[in-house]
Structure 1
Amino acid sequence: MVDSIDIRAFVGGREVSRRQVREWEARRAAAVLAKFASRLGHLATGELVHDATIGELLGSPLDAQRSALTTLKTALGHAGIYAMLKREVAFSERVARTGVAMSRGRTKHAATRLEVPNYSAERFAAWFDNLTISNAETGMVDACPDHYLLRGLPDGRQEVVETTGGSPAASRFLVDYGRTEALTIPADPAYPIQIAGTALLDDGLVIGGVRHQFRDRDGTLEALLTVQFPATVPARLIHQHQWHLACEFGNWMIAAASFAATSP
């Protein structure tokens, strides 16, 4: 994925370079590739990725690792992802339930800002909405190594299996974009484009949510990307998820550049 646009990222209020975001992504890509090698073994991974071993991929450029990870995840399929991560997902669900109970309604937010000159917030939001509506799973998974499964469900909700921030285990949850009443992330009226929803477990327990806000300002897209967690989530995980947001939305904005970029 070529960086065809200028993306300015602010993680925890501090500006970070695109190189730093890619370095974070590369560390996560290596960790996820190693997980596939450990869980599946060389015979299974060889069946899924034909042109390189995991060892070879670990020494490859980031773009090659990203492509291989997307191939592994899509070739393994939904059932394969569930099977590979079943213990992690079960552990994460127990942790989430305990965290919600102990937090007693209190929340924390992971927030990242992105600025992209010569780029349309309205066009990007339309592109991103279409990515979700059309259930373009490959495009959703490809944006971050920690994405294992993102798909739309028949009831309109989105199923997500991902490693959240710096968590040691992947988690599974649903995002309902028709529900926002549990969100403690304020809607900023200066950002007219809002993508917001509540994160739930299968039985309806609210474990968090998202509010991603966009605006055009003097020819520059400005994005305020925020994820809500229970208050008991450690600060390190919050910080790591800020990098996760910079990674995934940066890659989505690059992928959408032919549609959303404007002339200087």
Structure 2
Amino acid sequence: MPDMQTPAAVTVTLEAGPAGPGSIDDFELFYARRALDRFRTRLGSQGLLDLLAADIEEGNAFLRECARTSDGKFNAGTTVLQAHGLTSAEFLTWMNGAFASDDPHPLLAAHPEHYVMGHDDIGARVVENIGPHVCSFYMGGWGTSAMAWAENAEELLPESEFPRKMSSNLFLEDGTVVGRALIQFGDTAEGFTANLTVYFPTSCPKDVLDHHLRHYTVEFRNWMVAAAAARS
């Protein structure tokens, strides 16, 4: 029988050649982002929706079933990021402008698994991965009775330390609530702390929640970097 042992790890280092700073991983990330941006631009929002239609139908069916079997109960997870050199007011000004803009590029560019972001007749639409599933959902409910949960959430932090808060329901086109989001920002001497909580139905596998906490780290880090770049 062939040897089934795991092959030894290989380490490759860059010794000379390319001009300028950066590792091989940095180069690969640059090219991956450039290729992804090209495909997004060429396909456009409707092209991506057409391409992913079957995936979205399957992903939304998964979320709908999780919501049905969870009887309105959710599990929460939180990612905490520390930004340096940028205030929460500066970041939220940029983010609010990006979400209100007709140009989706700054929002899409923040994560490889952002496919469509924008507004339609229902509200603010997001097409992205929830765990391994491609899903299409809406965000909203700010300031309505549907958001009463946020006022009593266990994850709510003191107003004195985290005065800037945003909360939202995540819901499907048929109105089924499939998740929640509570994001809270507090300024520090160096910048600000972002406390990012997401909620999914209790019957969702744990890895769905774990993956979205990683999703948060990527998209919010990139949005913060974009906000700082726009300011300067």
Correspondence for 2:90 among 123, 127, 130: 123
| 1:92 paired to 2:65 | no
Query: 2:19 — aligned with what?
Result: none
- 1:189-241 CA-to-partner distances (Å, cap 9, x unmatched) read 23111122111111111111211111102232100011111111111121111
Query: 1:143 — aligned with what?
Result: 110
Q: Distance in 2 between matches of 1:122 and 1:241?
A: 25
5+ residue gaps, structure 2, are: 1-25
The Cα shift of 1:177 comes to: 4.6
What TM-score do you get using the length of structure 1 for normalisation? Answer: 0.70
Q: Distance in 2 between matches of 1:124 and 1:114?
A: 13
What TM-score do you get using the length of structure 2 for normalisation? Answer: 0.79
Query: 1:187 — aligned with what?
Result: 156
Query: 2:29 — aligned with what?
Result: 62
Query: 2:77 — aligned with what?
Result: 110
5+ residue gaps, structure 1, are: 1-58
Q: Distance in 1 between matches of 2:182 and 2:229?
A: 25
Is contact 1:175–1:197 with CA below 8 Å preserved after alignment? yes
Query: 2:4 — aligned with what?
Result: none
Query: 1:228 — aligned with what?
Result: 199
Correspondence for 1:172 among 117, 120, 136: 136
Q: Which amino acid counterpart does residue 187 of structure 1 have in structure 2?
A: L
- Give 1:31-50 correspondences, 5 Å limit: none
- 1:223-260 CA-to-partner distances (Å, cap 9, x unmatched) read 00111111111111211111110000001111111356
Q: Distance in 2 between matches of 1:260 and 1:231?
A: 40
The SS at the match of 1:112 is strand
Q: Distance in 2 between matches of 1:151 and 1:140?
A: 9
- 1:31-70 CA-to-partner distances (Å, cap 9, x unmatched) read xxxxxxxxxxxxxxxxxxxxxxxxxxxx961022112212
Correspondence for 1:163 among 106, 125, 129: 129
- Give 1:232-247 correspondences, 5 Å limit: 232-247=203-218
The SS at the match of 1:256 is helix
The SS at the match of 1:105 is coil
Identical columns (%):
26
- Classify 1:173/1:185 alpha carbon distance in 2 versus 1 (closer, same or farther; 3 Å): farther
Q: Rg: which structure is higher?
A: 2
- Classify 1:199/1:182 alpha carbon distance in 2 versus 1 (closer, same or farther; 3 Å): farther
- Classify 1:260/1:113 alpha carbon distance in 2 versus 1 (closer, same or farther; 3 Å): farther
Q: Which amino acid counterpart does residue 172 of structure 1 have in structure 2?
A: S
Query: 1:197 — aligned with what?
Result: 168
Q: Distance in 2 between matches of 1:122 and 1:112?
A: 20
The Cα shift of 1:86 comes to: 1.1
Is contact 1:108–1:230 with CA below 8 Å preserved after alignment? yes
Give the structure with the higher percent helix: 1
Q: Which amino acid counterpart does residue 120 of structure 1 have in structure 2?
A: T
The Cα shift of 1:154 comes to: 4.9
- Classify 1:159/1:185 alpha carbon distance in 2 versus 1 (closer, same or farther; 3 Å): farther
Is contact 1:109–1:185 with CA below 8 Å preserved after alignment? no
The SS at the match of 2:148 is coil
Q: Distance in 2 between matches of 1:127 and 1:66?
A: 22
Is contact 2:86–2:191 with CA below 8 Å preserved after alignment? yes
